[in-house]
Structure 1
Amino acid sequence: MLKSMAKQAHILMVPYPAQGHAKPLLKLAYKVASHGVKVTFVDTGSVNSKPFATKSDKVAKHNNVVFVSVSVGVKASEDQTQAETTMERRAQARNLIDLIRNRKDSEITCVVADVTMGWILTEIAEKLQVPTVAFCPLSLGSLALICQIPKLIEAGTIDSNGKLVRSDEVISLSTDIPPCKATELTWKDSRKIETRDTEKSLFGLCKTVQETAESAEWIVFNSSKEFEPAACDLNPRCLPVGPLIESEDSKRTSGAAGSFWLEDTSCMDWLDTKPPESVIYVAFGSAASLNQHEFDELALGLETSGHSFLWVVRSDLTRGTLLNYPVGFLERVADQGKIVEWAPQELVLAHPSVACFLTHCGWNSTMESVGRGIRLLCWPSFADQFHNASYISDIWKVGLKLTKDKSGIISKHEIKTKIELLLSDKSLKVNAANLKKESQESVLPEGSSFKNFEKFLNLLRR
């Protein structure tokens, strides 16, 4: 068992306000709270006007986690100068410092903040001398690539604004870390959405991440040494404590913790009616999107596969346009498919009827899948998703990548064909089962993630 705490630690956790960042940090909050640590979790904002804390209060109270709302100014204005942005961030950081100083219940003993918000850690460490820890929701491999930014600029691969100079470059850090094409660097956006400067925003975040990673005393990850041994060896200050997933015997009501979206649990009853390993689960996370042509091809690919499918279709999945299904599609698949706006994903992935997951390859979805032994069909679109897809298909060999045709579209034929290949390849199933076993062993006593979590707890009580 983990050692009991000499005194009750009280940590302040500060997430970046996006589901892919906030949810794994909240899971970590629940985990440390179960070991006698008090957690004050800062609600820094919302996504799609859906408040985060209201989805989590019921579970949080049970786990000794308290929510507070504090503005931390995570989004700088496009026309702000660097000096203005720095001044604003320092002013907002004072909100957190005041919160820490005014806690009447117990003293804050440590601050854990998302790696994209390292400036908060710097301000608090300087002003209060409170121990600080960064939390990274990406893979260790993705962080290692981001930390190459200065070298990529020096080598002339990118300019100081992150724009490609030599697009044919391939960045390779180790034989066990997937190589990365320059066109698929974390801040590059293959979607080419013209309504927002996504690449500029992502590069700014990546620069912050790189700076935080270089200065942080410790960085906690939702990963494990078994998944990324080479990447772990690159940075001795990394603490992979994952995978952070619900236990398989969790109740069906537990999945809502940390979700910005209202989960439709009716899909669980629908899954109960299906044979084992017969359902294709399809979801693209909270941010990835499709154009109408891609959406149509996906719908028709699922239909022509002949397999039952559970498809998560957010209201904004087709890039802000109204959802339009192919003519007659909903009527034809009425008995074949189930469509919901949001699903309790971990519960879905743990269900015996699910055969595979067609995914955008976000890191949380990746961890939740490999921790369940689920095979993956990869449809990445931006950020770290391409690198995650390479881990899945090339390193772990637990899934396949979907390939675009000459017009840049993933066709219904490609989807149907890859589903059949994925489900018929026995080696992928064996590899997925082996990876699941490794993930389970890593969080057991004497496992690598267990030991790292114990080290993390010891950091909290210093």
Structure 2
Amino acid sequence: MGRPHFLCLPLPIQGHVNPLMQFSLLLAKHGCKVTFVHTEFSHKRANTAGGDNKEEAQVELVTLPDGLDPQDDRSDVAKLLLSMKSTMPALLPKLIQDIDASDVENKITCIIVTINMGWALEVGHKLGIKGALLCPASATSLASAASIPKLIQDGIIDSQGLATKKQEIQLSPTMPKMDTAHFPWRGFKKIFFDNLVQEMQTLELGEWWLCNTTYDLEPGAFSLSPKFLPIGPLVENSNRSSFWEEDTACLEWLDQQPAQSVVYVSFGSLAVMDPNQFKELALGLDLLDKPFIWVVRPSNDGKENVNAYPDDFHGSKGKIVGWAPQKKILSHPSLACFISHCGWNSTLEGICAGVPFLCSPCTTDQFLNRNYICDVWKIGVGLEKDESGIVSREEIRKKVDELLVDEDIKARSLKLKEMTIDNIQESGQSSKNLSFFMDWAK
């Protein structure tokens, strides 16, 4: 009997590619064979961004075309999804056949996808190959998406995914209350919502829904479906899946800063900031009079950042980088706190580093994650918007000052870090679940 061979297909955006690559490295480390499918476009991007280390040679990379022209705008996710769904399913069986022919002993035993790639589970199902989902968001987000039919049936949302009235609900008695205005699909066009509803049905073909989380972080979510299996936190270091070149010079700069003094600011790989908010944030960082690292990402088509710095911005105490080695920054002794959009990958990385959060969610599941950070785990505070919908510079200064003297939040952050990391030690719950999953795949 050969070893289990996983074929991994992420949606080609940074927040999906990263966790699935981390999971692939973890499987490879445990002696499984892993083939990772990039689209041709994102493979080229990740390769240009550099990074190739020995561990990653254990994961084989292959590519499929996404069906778009090279000059098409891939930050239009709806366009990308439709194109992939209409071209890739027909090409996948041949790819599987070629991979199997090259190593007859170790044929593909399981396909793992992230959300919006469920079509690959259908292809696998027809070929008699097992399937699983790796959810790049929290288990709570996945639970809310899985609850859509019931939410419609109970009249809590309409057929477009919009709340019928403003209220707080619980998906299950053991879960925290959730504001109906903050469902993860809010702000999506109808086409996305319809796609999500259909996707959740397709994903039923996956026998397991793997979650990059731990049972302790969101216990209530696991009561909703026996398919949910926590295998997080995923902490393998992968520099082969980044779409932008990381600026590592900021680490040397960090070494020169006093302990727990630096404010780290990053809004992830997708968020596009309103120009007025960008300006307030810049001036807020000046007001703080503390050292800071601010990630100002190039726009998604590779052009320069679209926002102009205000004329009266000095930034003399800080370092502005295009893309950063986030995990290394977060776990650096000089770091004081993390101003974050609360994407799930960033949330977990902050937890694993034991860093307090200042939360400024922008979209989708980030509002749910903020609720956990501020109200459930109590390891951070929210930045409140003023009547014009902007987080003001004064608010930024006030909240950073409050957070940095709050010893209770610091203590809880360190305790949560320990509890979360314990899950991936040898006898930890997530490690046991991983072993169980690999045995199942055999």
Please say whether Structure 1 and Structure 2 have the same fold, judged by a TM-score greater than 0.5.
yes
The correspondence of residues 41-52 of structure 1 with structure 2, limited to 5 A, is 41-44=36-39, 46=41, 51-52=45-46
Gap change, CA 1:213 and 1:398, over 3 Å in 2: farther
What root-mean-square deviation, in Å, do the aligned CA atoms of Structure 1 and Structure 2 show? 2.7
> What residue is the counterpart of 1:337 in the other structure?
318
Q: Alignment partner for residue 310 of structure 1, among 250, 269, 293?
A: 293
Q: 1:61 Cα deviation (Å)?
A: 6.4
1:293 to 276, 284, 293: 276
Q: Structure 2 vs 1, CA of residues 297 and 91 (structure 1 numbering), >3 Å: closer, same or farther? A: closer
Which letter does structure 1 place at the counterpart of 2:117?
M
State the 1:165 CA deviation: 5.2
Give the Cα separation in 2 of the matches to 1:124 and 1:54: 31
Report the secondary structure of 1:226's partner residue.
Answer: coil
Once the two structures are TM-superposed, the CA of residue 109 in structure 1 deviates from its matched residue by 1.6
Q: Does 1:168 align with 2:150?
A: no
Q: Who is 1:327 aligned against?
A: 311
**SS at the partner of 1:166?**
coil
Unmatched 5+ stretches in structure 1? 1-5, 80-84, 190-197, 247-253
In the superposition, relative to structure 1, how do residues 369 and 42 fare at CA in structure 2: closer, same or farther (>3 Å)? same
CA separation in 2, counterparts of 1:16 and 1:159? Answer: 27
Match status 1:28 vs 2:23: yes
CA distance in structure 2 between the aligned counterparts of 1:241 and 1:351, rounded to whole angstroms: 25
AA aligned to 2:116 is T
Aligned partner of 2:96 among 90, 93, 100: 100
Q: C-alpha separation between the residues in 2 aligned to 1:450 and 1:414?
A: 41
The answer (yes or no) to whether the contact 2:41–2:66 under 8 Å persists in 1 is no
The code of the aligned residue for 2:38 comes to D
Distance 1:377 1:303 in 2: 17
Aligned runs of 1:70-219 on 2, under 5 Å? 70-71=64-65, 89=85, 92-103=88-99, 104-106=101-103, 107-126=107-126, 128-162=127-161, 164=162, 166-174=164-172, 176-189=174-187, 198-219=188-209
- Equivalent of 2:62, from 62, 68, 81? 68
Distance 2:54 2:19 in 1: 14
The answer to whether the 8 Å contact 2:7/2:108 transfers is yes
Equivalent pairs counted in the alignment come to: 430
Percent of aligned positions that are identical: 39
SS at match of 1:111: strand
Structure 1 residues 389 and 202: alpha-carbon distance in aligned structure 2, compared to 1, 3 A threshold: farther
Query: Cα gap change, 1:422/1:388 in structure 2, threshold over 3 Å: closer, same or farther?
Result: same
**Aligned partners of 1:132, 1:384: CA distance in 2, in Å?**
25
Q: Which runs of 5+ in 2 are unaligned?
A: 69-73
The answer to whether the Cα contact below 8 Å between 1:14 and 1:113 also exists between their aligned partners in 2 is yes
Q: Distance in 2 between matches of 1:376 and 1:237?
A: 31
> 1: CA distance between counterparts of 2:135 and 2:123?
19
Aligned to 1:3: none
Q: Which residue of 2 aligns with 1:270?
A: 253
**Change in 2 beyond 3 A, CA 1:221/1:15:** same
Contact 1:241 1:450 in 2 (8 A): yes
What secondary structure, in the 3-state scheme, does the structure 2 residue paired with 1:327 have? coil
Cα shift at 1:154: 2.2
2:121/2:205 contact within 8 Å kept: no
**Shift, 1:322, TM fit:** 2.9
Q: Cα 1:181–1:124, aligned 2, differ >3 Å: closer, same or farther?
A: same
Q: Residues 23, 214 of structure 1: CA spacing in aligned structure 2 closer, same or farther, 3 A cutoff? A: same
